């Protein structure tokens, strides 16, 4: 019962008054270590952000507030920055750090910025939702690839 109350408190605790909802096939929690592990078709939703994976581990501090989310296996996501840019994509692993409002994506990352029609492919991509900035790294034999549209502003001359 105590563990159930902890989980209920954890799920109802929110960052910036947004509801956090996690759906999974199973979960386990250890109050002392501050770890909660969700497994099997995990879907995490908080505000406009969605993170899906085979497994999501939530790390909490002494006040039982989430300090890090680690998603592993078939990671897919949709997120919105504070500047309203919308990103969708997939990766092998994702880490969200609430204090910095940063997402770190690893392993065969593909991210599309929907509103700007930009795409980033790499082995490591970091997105700051506060600043609306992204940075990426490639692997030794797999460089970062960025694709975007350039509007032709030159008028045809007759």
CATH number where 131 lies = 2.60.450.10
Q: Are strands 20-23 and 86-97 parallel, antiparallel or unpaired?
A: unpaired
Q: Range of 9's domain?
A: 2-147
Residue 112: beta bridge partners? Answer: 88, 119
Residue 93 counted as domain residue: yes
Residue 96, φ and ψ in degrees, nearest 5: -115, 130
Of 3-7, 81-85, 121-125, 134-138, the range with the highest mean pLDDT is: 121-125
Query: How large is the average pLDDT for residues 15-42?
Result: 87
The answer to whether 66 and 98 have CB atoms below 8 angstroms apart is yes
pLDDT of 82 > 90? The answer is no
Residue 80: beta bridge partners? Answer: 86
Question: pTM score, two decimals?
Answer: 0.80
Query: How large is the average pLDDT for residues 25-41?
Result: 93
Q: How far apart are CA 52 and CA 138, in angstroms?
A: 23
Residue 154 counted as domain residue: no
Residue 157 counted as domain residue: no
DSSP state of 157: P
pLDDT at 146: 79
Q: Are strands 49-60 and 35-46 parallel, antiparallel or unpaired?
A: antiparallel
Residue 105 counted as domain residue: yes
Query: How large is the average pLDDT for residues 101-121?
Result: 91
Residue 158 counted as domain residue: no
pLDDT of 16 > 80? The answer is no
Residue 129 counted as domain residue: yes
The number of domains in the chain is 1
Residue 37 counted as domain residue: yes
pLDDT at 10: 53
């Amino acid at each position: 019962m105590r563990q159930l109350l902890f989980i209920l408190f954890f799920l109802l605790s929110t960052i910036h008054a947004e509801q956090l909802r996690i759906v999974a096939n199973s979960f386990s929690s250890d109050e002392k270590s501050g770890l909660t592990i969700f497994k099997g078709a995990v879907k995490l939703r908080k505000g406009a952000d969605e993170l899906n994976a085979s497994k999501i581990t939530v790390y909490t501090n002494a006040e039982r507030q989430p300090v890090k989310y680690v998603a592993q296996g078939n990671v897919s996501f949709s997120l919105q920055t504070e500047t309203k840019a919308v990103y969708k994509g997939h990766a092998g692993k994702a880490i969200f750090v609430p204090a910095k409002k940063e997402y770190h994506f690893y392993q065969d990352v593909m991210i599309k910025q929907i509103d700007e029609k930009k795409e980033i492919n790499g082995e490591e991509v970091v997105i700051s939702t506060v600043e609306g900035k992204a940075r990426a790294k490639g692997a030794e034999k797999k460089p970062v690839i960025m694709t975007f549209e350039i509007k032709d502003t030159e008028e045809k001359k007759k």
